[in-house]
Amino acid sequence: SYVLTQPPSVSVAPGQTAKITCEGNNIRSKSVHWYQQKPGQAPLLVVYDDRDRPSGIPERFSGSNSGNTATLTISRVEAADEADYYCQVWDTSSDHPVFGGGAKLTVL
Amino acid sequence: QVQLVQSGAEVKKPGASVKVSCKASGYTFTRYGIIWLRQAPGQGLQWMGWISAYSGTTNYAQIFQDRVMMTTDTSTSTAYMELRSLIIDDTAVYYCARAYCSSTSCPGSKFDTWGQGTLVTVSS
């Protein structure tokens, strides 16, 4: 089945740019969605269809997808962005969603 | 506003069953599907299955195939997930989320609305 690989952790100083990657075989052929999850809360969709943002999500959150890597970029990182971030695609061969293992963003 | 509200926390003994509900509001229930996931303490998200609220079509993760059942009640816009033969390792927060499904599948679906989660604790 399809596998998504994320780095376990990413660290960045406030005001800098964080890049969280999601690797999968020919992932560019799939629509990638990104979720933010803070402790004790349900996941929140922050980017969908590779690069679109739901209403209410700051423009600081952006996405890209090319080759075997999709990337969530958070510009001008704030302390409130500290959370776990999960990428997700739909595996059409098995007709179910696939999630990455999650990346913990630490704001230094 | 679009909202999913789940039932409250449960404590169960090994071998018992649990049924979690997920009540939808703010949208036409039958135009979407519901996905169920769980998250064990300190772990990532694990997909359990999805159900089309329009047709009742289900697709369960193989690991849960033999002991999970997902249903919907369109008269109350509520989805249910029942997990049987509970074991200690089923202790987790269970989430429902809205999925963009046809009557038979949810290709490419994102999950734009989530329930608040239901903690199920399995303990002897």
The string of pLDDT tens digits covering residues A7-23 is 999 999 999 999 999 99
Q: Taking 90 as the threshold, does the pLDDT of residue A84 lie above it?
A: yes
Nearest CA-CA partner of B96 in B11, B12, B24: B24
Q: What is the pLDDT of residue B103?
A: 79
- Average pLDDT score over chain A: 96
Rounded to 5 degrees, φ, ψ at A76 are: 45, 60
The number of residues making up chain B comes to 124
Q: Taking 90 as the threshold, does the pLDDT of residue A79 lie above it?
A: yes
The string of pLDDT tens digits covering residues B86-121 is 999 999 999 999 999 887 888 888 999 999 999 999
The string of pLDDT tens digits covering residues B13-34 is 999 999 999 999 999 999 999 9
How far is residue A39's CA from residue A37's CA, in Å, rounded to a whole number?
Answer: 7
Query: What is the 3-state secondary structure of B17-50?
Result: CEEEEEEEECCCHHHCEEEEEEECCCCCCEEEEE
Q: Taking 90 as the threshold, does the pLDDT of residue A68 lie above it?
A: yes
Q: Taking 90 as the threshold, does the pLDDT of residue A92 lie above it?
A: no
Q: Nearest Cβ partner of A101 from B44, B59, B109?
A: B44
Percent of chain B with pLDDT over 90: 92
Q: Are B99 and B109 in contact (CB under 8 A)?
A: yes
A95 with B106: Cβ contact below 8 A: yes
Q: Nearest Cβ partner of B59 from A30, A35, A95?
A: A95
Alpha helices in A1-108 (DSSP H): none
Q: Taking 90 as the threshold, does the pLDDT of residue A95 lie above it?
A: no
A102 with B45: Cβ contact below 8 A: yes
The string of pLDDT tens digits covering residues B61-86 is 999 999 999 999 999 999 999 999 99
3-state SS, residue B80: strand
The string of pLDDT tens digits covering residues A41-60 is 999 999 999 999 999 999 99
How far is residue A70's CA from residue B47's CA, in Å, rounded to a whole number?
Answer: 21
